[in-house]
Amino acid sequence: MKNLASKLAMALLLMATAEVGTFGQQFVVQITDPPRDGTPVGKGMAVTGKATVPNGYHLWILTRRIDFDGVWWPQGEAKIDPVTREWRVGVTFGQEEDIKWDFQLAAMVFNEEGHIILDEYRKKALKSGDWKPIEIPETAAPPQIIKVKKINHR
């Protein structure tokens, strides 16, 4: 039984890790908290994970309400610790009227050009307070996405 449990844990870890990128680059991206789909969330949280991303690429964390197809809210670039490979980014899940909605939380890798687009959007939104969702640039690797449920706005 113990062997089965460890095999299941390894299979889940592999399913939750994106490892294929463009041009044969190796990307490993994992969200560790929230730990699984359906996790209840409030107004915001610190999202954590582990990643290996080649030089010249950037890991970003984005959110969107489940019915907002095609657009995302960039939350911030994940600064990956060079030793532990861990990262942490604070995110916000919509407004008070979004309670009871599902949200997608994504860890996405972008090349330098995509990173600049997201970084400029975030800087402008921080100054203006205008946080409209945007269409995102092409990703360099398959995104890691977890679905969460907003249950309050605290």
Per-residue pLDDT of 109-137, as tens digits, reads: 999 999 999 999 999 999 999 999 999 99
Which option is the CATH number for 2-150: 2.60.40.770, 3.90.550.10, 3.30.200.20, 2.60.40.10? Answer: 2.60.40.10
C-alpha closest to that of 136 among 102, 104, 92, 101 = 104
Q: How far is CA 117 from the centre of its chain?
A: 17
Domain boundaries, the chain: 2-150
Could you report the per-residue pLDDT of 13-64, keeping only the tens digit for each? 434 444 444 445 689 999 999 999 999 999 999 999 999 999 999 999 999 9
**C-alpha–C-alpha distance, residues 62 and 74, integer Å:** 4
The per-residue pLDDT for 24 is 56
What whole-number distance in Å separates Cα of residue 148 and Cα of residue 66? 9
Per residue in 52-86, pLDDT (tens digit) is 999 999 999 999 999 999 999 999 999 999 999 99
Pairing relationship of beta strands 86-92 and 17-20 according to DSSP bridges: unpaired
Q: Is the pLDDT confidence value at 10 over 60? A: no
* Closest listed residue to residue 104, CA positions, set 37, 153, 47, 50: 37
Pairing of strands 57-65, 26-33: unpaired
Q: Give the pLDDT of residue 140.
A: 96
